């Protein structure tokens, strides 16, 4: 019976379907937190900007972590006492994901997705996922001591955040 | 296990990463202005107009199968070419072209297929609209079917015979993701055309028209709800409705597919389960006993990566042992193992 109703009103259904879309406004990317606010909430203020310039051998270690070079030759970071923060970018499927990492003495203190530009997989920005990185450190094999669990449908974004976490832990050893 | 299979993935998946040019960065000592800092990350692209290669994405994968035992056969199962183009930050074109079984043509075993070709529009608040030919959001494998995303050489029987993966249709699809981890998809699209006589009679898989001069006198619709809010757990429920799966016969045969899937991962352990159930109305299907076609599978697996890494000569490889119990007309089980280069994720 329900099926008959669907058949009868199918032109109506299609119209409804389009109207839903008209109400949506253009507006990618999704900014969860501004980089400046991320640094303020992590340090209380914005610490001076510093930079790490990668040498050849460091660049090759970065390649083994990311599978390619980082897209910037000098990577910025912000530090206060033992703690430091990196704001890194990596492509999920086709778009850059901007993520902030706070590292405290070789361990991840917090992870926050700041800007998300992919159309799918935004679950990686949620705290149930990012909390998994807390306390993680880098093993000699360039892997995290404990892997985050995957999110079905967001695998490439999960990989991007994991790679950036490993990169942040490695960069922290260079500062 | 009556046959042993060897699987060679050629090339692997090439991600559609848009090249981002290396650029030198000015590191200002002292406190960087907050606005400057924000804009350097919010507008990471260089101010110049992005060129062709910033907008174009190319990817590929291939599968060469050697099956021995029940059949002794070597087959270049598929070679796939992805071509994407980003018009703006919110509008992009996605396509997937596939050559199956190496040789296509009249009387030849293979086919050249357009699997996907659609325009995707991204809106605010997680809304996405696809228009064109797209993969239906049904089951675990249909949308993401690259060989590295499932265990074994061949795809499982449920997502071959019940959900005819890879299944694409033409129409519109709207998707939305919410902050709470819930997502849904709803699409209106072209439908199946199942034969009621001949060797492929009542076979759902053979009913795919592949949007090739397809009968469009009837419509079909698909819907899916996803729940991804707990670490390691992913649940979906999905449905497909067909107004008439036999447009060439006099009798109208409406059909409904209902199904659900679950994925759970903890450490190296992964559990996958899927159930799918077709109900097809009409006397022709009832008489032949094909009015109800359903099946399920359950697949526990374990990925060994720490233990294996201790053996130096196996470093860089990872191994997974899996078993899959599936039931449609009869229950079958598979025990297998896969090995491959370590994924960067795990």
pLDDT tens, position by position, A82-113? 999 999 999 887 788 999 999 999 999 999 99
Q: 3-state DSSP call for residue B18?
A: coil
pTM: 0.75
Which residue of chain B is at minimal alpha-carbon distance from A119?
Answer: B122
Model pLDDT, residue B8: 35
Which residue of chain B is at minimal alpha-carbon distance from A86?
Answer: B41
Sheet holding A107-116, edge to edge: A30-31, A107-116, A96-104, A83-91, A74-80, A49-53
Report yes or no on B21 lying in a domain: no
Model pLDDT, residue B82: 92
At which of B121, B140, B161 does a domain end? B121
Residues of chain B found within 8 Å of residue A8, distances taken between Cβ atoms: none
Same domain flag for B70 and B180: no
Model pLDDT, residue B185: 96
Same domain flag for B91 and B131: no
Alpha helices, H only, chain B:
34-42, 52-55, 283-288, 306-309
Asked casually if ipTM beats, i.e. exceeds, 0.90, the reply is no
Same domain flag for B183 and B322: yes
d(CA B82, CA B167): 17
At which of B61, B87, B121 does a domain end? B121
Task: Specify the higher pLDDT residue, B25 or A154.
Answer: A154
Of A28, A126, A153, the CB nearest to B234: A153
pLDDT, mean over chain A: 83
A69 pLDDT above the threshold of 50: yes
Same domain flag for B113 and B166: no
Q: Band the pLDDT of A26: cuts 50, 70, 90.
A: very low
Same domain flag for B65 and B152: no
At which of B121, B154, B182 does a domain end? B121
A161 pLDDT above the threshold of 80: yes
Report yes or no on B302 lying in a domain: yes
Report yes or no on B35 lying in a domain: no
Residues of chain B found within 8 Å of residue A39, distances taken between Cβ atoms: 37
Report yes or no on B30 lying in a domain: no
Q: Is A16 on the interface with B (CB under 8 A)?
A: no
Same domain flag for B159 and B188: yes
Same domain flag for B146 and B251: yes
Same domain flag for B157 and B188: yes
Q: Give the domain range for residue B262.
A: 123-346
Q: How many domains does chain B have?
A: 2
d(CA A126, CA A130): 6
Same domain flag for B111 and B157: no
Would you tell me the crossing angle of helices A56-66 and A155-174 to the nearest 10 degrees? 160
Cα-Cα-Cα-Cα dihedral of B151, B155, B158, B161, to 10°? Answer: 180
Same domain flag for B179 and B311: yes
Same domain flag for B108 and B143: no
Per-residue pLDDT of chain B (346 residues; tens, 9 = 90+): 333 333 333 333 333 333 333 334 445 545 557 888 888 888 765 545 677 877 888 888 899 999 888 889 999 999 999 999 988 878 999 999 999 999 999 999 999 999 999 999 988 887 899 999 999 999 999 998 888 788 888 889 999 999 999 999 999 999 998 878 889 999 999 999 999 999 999 999 999 999 999 999 999 999 999 998 888 899 999 999 999 999 999 999 999 999 999 999 887 899 999 999 999 999 999 999 999 999 999 999 998 766 666 666 666 677 888 999 999 888 889 898 888 776 543 3
Of A67, A89, A123, the CB nearest to B181: A123
Cβ count within 10 A of residue B51: 10
Shortest distance between the Cα of A25 and any Cα of chain B, in A, equals 5
Same domain flag for B302 and B188: yes
Cβ contacts of A52-60, under 8 Å, gap ≥ 24: A52/A77, A52/A171, A52/A174, A52/A175, A54/A174, A58/A174
């Amino acid at each position: 019976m329900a099926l008959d109703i669907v058949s009868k009103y199918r032109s109506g259904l299609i119209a409804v379907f389009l109207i839903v879309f008209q109400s949506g406004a253009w507006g990618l990317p999704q900014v969860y937190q501004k980089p400046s606010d991320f640094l303020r909430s992590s340090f209380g203020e914005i610490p001076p900007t510093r930079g790490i310039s990668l040498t050849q051998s460091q660049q090759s270690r970065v390649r083994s972590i990311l599978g390619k070079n980082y897209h910037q030759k000098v990577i910025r970071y912000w530090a206060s006492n033992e703690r430091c923060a990196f704001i890194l970018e990596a492509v999920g499927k086709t778009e850059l994901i901007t993520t902030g990492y706070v590292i405290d003495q070789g361990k991840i203190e917090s992870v926050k997705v700041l800007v998300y530009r992919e159309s799918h997989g935004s679950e990686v920005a949620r705290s149930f996922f990012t909390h998994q990185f807390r306390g993680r450190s880098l093993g000699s094999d360039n892997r995290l001591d404990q892997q985050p669990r995957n999110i079905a449908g967001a695998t490439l974004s999960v990989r991007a955040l994991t790679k950036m976490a490993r990169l942040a832990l490695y960069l922290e050893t260079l500062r | 296990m009556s046959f042993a299979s060897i699987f060679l993935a050629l090339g692997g998946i090439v991600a559609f990463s848009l090249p981002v040019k290396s650029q030198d960065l000015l590191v200002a000592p002292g406190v960087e202005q907050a606005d400057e800092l924000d804009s350097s990350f919010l507008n990471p692209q260089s101010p110049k107009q992005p060129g062709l290669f910033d907008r174009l994405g190319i990817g590929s994968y291939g599968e060469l199968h050697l099956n021995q035992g029940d059949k002794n056969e070597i087959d270049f199962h598929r070679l796939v070419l992805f071509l994407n183009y980003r018009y703006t930050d919110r509008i992009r074109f996605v396509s997937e072209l596939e050559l199956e079984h190496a040789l296509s043509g009249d009387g030849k075993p293979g086919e050249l297929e357009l699997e996907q070709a659609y325009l995707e529009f991204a809106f605010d608040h997680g809304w996405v609209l696809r228009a064109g030919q797209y993969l239906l959001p049904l089951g675990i494998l249909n949308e993401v079917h690259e060989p590295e995303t499932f265990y074994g050489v061949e795809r499982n029987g449920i997502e071959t015979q019940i959900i005819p993966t890879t299944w694409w249709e033409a129409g519109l699809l709207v998707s939305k993701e919410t902050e709470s981890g819930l997502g849904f998809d709803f699409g209106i699209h072209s439908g199946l055309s199942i034969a009621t006589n001949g060797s492929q009679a009542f076979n759902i898989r053979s009913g795919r028209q592949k949007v090739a001069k397809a009968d469009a006198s009837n419509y079909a619709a698909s819907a899916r709800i996803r729940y991804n809010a707990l670490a390691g757990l992913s649940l979906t429920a999905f449905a497909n409705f067909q107004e008439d799966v036999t447009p060439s016969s006099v009798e109208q045969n409406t059909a409904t597919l209902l199904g659900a899937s679950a994925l759970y991962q903890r450490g190296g352990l992964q559990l996958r389960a899927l159930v799918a159930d077709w109900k097809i109305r009409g006397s022709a299907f009832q008489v032949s006993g094909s009015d109800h076609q359903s099946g399920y599978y359950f697949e526990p697996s374990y990925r060994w990566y720490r233990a294996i890494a201790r053996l130096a000569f196996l470093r860089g490889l990872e191994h997974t042992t899996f078993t899959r119990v599936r039931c449609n007309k009869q229950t079958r089980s598979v025990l297998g193992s896969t090995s491959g280069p370590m994924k960067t994720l795990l």
